[in-house]
Amino acid sequence: MSYIVSHIMPERMIELAVSAQPTQIRLGDVLKEAGYVTEEQIQSVFEIQKAAGTKKRLGELLIEHNIITESRVNAALSRRLNIKYVSMRDAPIDLDIVKQIPKAIASKHCLIAIAESHGVLRVNIADPLDYYAIEDVKLITHKAIEIQVCNRAEIMQAISESYAEIETKKAASGANETAITATALGYVDISEAADDTPIVTLLNSTLYKAHTSGASDVHIEPFDDQTQFRIRVDGLIVDYLSLSVSLHNSIVARIKILAGMDIAEKRAPQDGHFRAKLQDIDINVRVSSLPTVFGEKIVMRFMGQGGAMDNSGTFGMERDDYDKMVKILQVPHGVIYLTGPTGSGKTTTLYMIMEMLAKRNVNISTVEDPVERNLARINQTQINPLAGLTFESALRSILRQDPDIILIGETRDAETASIGVRAALTGHLVLSSLHTNDAVSAIVRLIDMGIEDYLLANSLAGVVAQRLVKKVCAFCTDEYAPPENELNLLGSHRPATLVRGKGCHNCNNTGYKGRVAVHEILPIDPKIRGMISSRAPTDNIYKYVREENKMKSLQTSLQKLVVEKKTSIEELLKLTYFVE
Ligand SMILES: [Zn+2]
């Protein structure tokens, strides 16, 4: 343990730091004085509690029964106790401070140490009247405590994230220590590790931390002098840990055992999969290994980890886009393509659409590689080329079963494209994804793949281009006056200020946290059908969709996000780079 206990504070200092004596104050009185609740309401929740035989604090009961909100309780306490009512977002967390309080105590009392100055430890707590909690912290840290009240859910989340990271870093240094001994003895252990070895602890806590911080994958890469752990959060890869390279083989062996891969085979790429329960979360991980000059590189990818998403009730779309999409989905048959580069969230959107379609009481079949998430009431097929099950062969057998709706995970080649189009013409609704930068390019790509123009014109129902845009981290947002060259990118908008992230602990110093999807939705109308079958120049189609079809482009949506201060100008530049 590295938290060093300082000398005991003189009693007088402790008294000074705690600005009220919580034992003498009762929450009921505070809330009554503030005019938020009546004595009758307090008595009524106590009655309910007595009947239920549970034991909860008054605040929790009142909030649970919708008599008062947590923010009102906290605002009242803040005024009465003369302490600050804060959000975990107000200040970055310093892990060296956090770990002065053991996790068990932090979780039990719902509190977290966030800063320290002049020997006074600043602690965010959900219940500032919890005298015993505050006493516990004083006893453990031997420091004067300054408390601030903060919402319970925010503290619990901060506890879970911060301690996961602390444990990982500790496990890494533990593992590095064993590595030194192992190397000294000229011995590297690749046997199946017992469950309490530093390697297992390290892997478990890395997976836990990565999952709780919303990462999509974990990369373990060997170099000549070290093994680097990196995690991808919101599409960005960030360095996470560096370990002694002598540990690399043990780590890889452990992962391969978990994923059912061959630990002796180190020269060929392998794929594997495992599910695990870590503390309170279930994880589903796809593993791939790839030989490199310094050893095997491992990527562990969390399946079904879409992360929290804006507009999740509307396929992640803005209301007007969603309405347009629902209209396209009402066609009895036809092909709908979702397009965008890798990592643009196409699969997530397709899954949301399939879940909605599954409610229609129709027969739905999918062909995917890989099946990322199991969907209720949908027949999902994973292709397996080694066993002869390709997109093409799987589709042919599915069509013999005549489903109403077919999802083709990805249209990669001419054969798949052709089957999709033909299935649509024979009365099926087909959804698929395609690698193109914008909606109109999908038409060009399909013709290039060899689809006959009249077949395409008659089967295409709509194209949706999508991008995921990183949101500026709310914890470290910085406003600035944009220079002229940035304003020029914003069309007719002339905002006085724009935002960017400075980088902080909450966003792994990237300045971004969370993502939002933007779309351009192109329903295929008779005019566009005519242009496809007559092979009109692409420029004419672009001109038409901009001027008459009134399609809102990805660029327009992104400009709006920049002006609304949700994302940075860099994200807009990235799109421009992709499109041109
Ligand atoms: Zn930040």
Backbone angles phi, psi at 150, to 5 degrees: -150, 150
Tokens describing residue 323 = 């309405």
Residue 19's pLDDT band (cuts 50, 70, 90) = very low
CA of 99 to the centre of ligand 1 (A): 21
Which pLDDT does position 281 carry in this prediction?
76
Q: Could you give phi then psi for residue 365, rounded to 5 degrees? A: -125, 150
Model confidence at 200: pLDDT above 60: yes
List the single range of 119-128, 199-208, 319-328 with lowest mean pLDDT.
199-208
Q: What spacing in Å lies between the alpha carbon of 470 and ligand 1's midpoint?
A: 12
- Work out the average pLDDT over 167-178: 73
Average pLDDT over residues 531-550: 91
Nearest by Cα to 311 from 352, 279, 278: 352
pLDDT digits (tens, 9 = 90+) for 456-502: 999 999 999 999 999 998 888 999 999 999 999 998 999 999 999 99
Among 481, 517, 498, 468, smallest CA distance to 562 is for 498
How far is the C-alpha of 349 from the C-alpha of 148, rounded, in Å? 41
DSSP code, position 13 = H
Interaxial angle between packed helices 248-258 and 198-212, expressed in degrees from 0 to 180 and rounded to the nearest 10 = 70
**d(CA 567, ligand 1 centre) in Å:** 13
Q: What is the CATH number of domain 158-302?
A: 3.30.450.90
Which residue's entry shows tokens 């000549």? 224
Ligand 1 centroid vs 477 CA: distance in angstroms? 7
Band of pLDDT at residue 304, cut at 50, 70 and 90: low
For 150-168, the pLDDT digits (tens) are 999 889 888 887 887 787 7
CA 347 to ligand 1 center in whole angstroms: 27
Distance of CA 560 to the CA centre of its chain: 23
| Residue 482 token pair | 């944009």
501 CA from centroid of ligand 1 (Å): 6
- Other CB atoms within 10 A of residue 62 CB: 25
How far apart are the CA of 473 and the centre of ligand 1, in A?
5
- The pLDDT value given to residue 159: 87
- The candidate with the shortest Cα–Cα distance to 423, out of 449, 447, 395, 389, is 395
pLDDT tens string 358-388: 887 889 999 988 887 777 788 888 888 888 8
pLDDT at position 190, please? 34
* Averaged pLDDT score across all residues of the chain: 85
**For residue 469, which of 316, 352, 338 has the smallest C-alpha distance?**
316
Question: What are the strands, taking DSSP E only, across 303-377?
Answer: 334-339, 364-368
Above pLDDT 70, what percent of the chain? 90
Expressed in angstroms and rounded, the spacing between residue 508 Cα and the centre of ligand 1 is 7
Taking residues 37-59, report their average pLDDT. 86
What is the reported pLDDT for 376?
76
pLDDT at 239: 82
Candidate from 18-32, 293-307, 363-377, 525-539 with smallest mean pLDDT: 18-32
> Could you write out the DSSP letters of every residue in 248-284?
HHHHHHHHHHHTT--SS--SS-EEEEEEEEETTEEEE
- Do 11-152 and 158-302 show the same overall fold? no
300 Cα: distance to centroid of ligand 1 (angstroms): 25
How many whole angstroms from 443 Cα to the centroid of ligand 1?
40
Residue 571 scores a pLDDT above 90:
yes
How close is the Cα of 340 to the center of ligand 1, in Å?
27
Give residue 177's pLDDT: 67
**476 Cα to the center of ligand 1, angstroms:** 4
CA of 211 to the centre of ligand 1 (A): 18
Q: Are strands 498-501 and 405-408 parallel, antiparallel or unpaired?
A: unpaired
143/140 Cα distance (integer angstroms): 8
pLDDT above 70 (res 580): no
Residue 506 C-alpha to ligand 1 middle, in angstroms? Answer: 5
Crossing angle between the packed helical segments 152-184 and 198-212, to the nearest 10 degrees? 150
94 Cα to the center of ligand 1, angstroms: 13
3-state secondary structure of 546: helix
What is the structure's pLDDT at 339? 96
> Mean of the pLDDT values across residues 555-580?
86
Fold classification of 312-470+517-557 is: Rossmann fold (3.40.50)
Centre of ligand 1 to C-alpha 505, Å, is: 6
CA of 125 to the centre of ligand 1 (A): 22
Going from the Cα of 243 to the center of ligand 1, the distance in angstroms, rounded, reads 26
Confidence check: pLDDT of 47 > 90: no
> Would you give the end-to-end CA distance of the chain in angstroms?
54
- The pLDDT confidence band at residue 7, using thresholds 50, 70 and 90, is very low
Q: Distances from the Cα of 474 to the Cαs of 102, 307, 368, 455, 501, in angstroms?
A: 28, 17, 36, 48, 8
- Quick check: 286 and 224 in contact, CB under 8 A? no
User: Where along the chain do its domains lie?
Assistant: 11-152, 158-302, 312-470+517-557
Backbone angles phi, psi at 375, to 5 degrees: -105, 140
Q: Is the pLDDT of residue 191 over 60?
A: no
Contact criterion met (CB below 8 Å) for 18 and 145: yes
78 Cβ neighbours under 8 A, 6+ residues apart: 84, 85, 149
pLDDT tier at 146 (50, 70, 90 boundaries)?
very high
* Architecture of the CATH domain 11-152: 2-Layer Sandwich (3.30)
pLDDT band for position 578 (cuts 50, 70, 90):
low
Distance 161 CA to ligand 1 centre (A): 15
| CA–CA dist 449, 443 (Å, integer) | 10
179 band by pLDDT with thresholds 50, 70 and 90: low
* Most confidently modeled range among 82-91, 183-192, 261-270, 417-426: 417-426
The pLDDT of residue 9 is 39
The angle, 0 to 180 degrees and rounded to 10, between the axes of the packed helices 554-563 and 569-579 is 170
Instruction: Tell me the CA–centroid distance for residue 478 and ligand 1, in Å.
Output: 10
CA of 103 to the centre of ligand 1 (A): 24
Distance 89 CA to ligand 1 centre (A): 9
Give the pLDDT band of residue 21 (cuts 50, 70, 90).
low
| Beta bridge partners of residue 499, listed in sequence order | 479
Map tokens 């990818």 to a residue.
Answer: 301
Q: What pLDDT, on the 0 to 100 scale, is given for residue 330?
A: 93
CA distance 86 to 77: 12
Question: What average pLDDT score do residues 254-277 get?
Answer: 89
The percent of residues above 90 in pLDDT, for the chain, comes to 44
Which residues lie closer than 8 Å to 241 by C-beta, 6 or more apart?
Answer: 168, 169, 172, 206, 228, 229
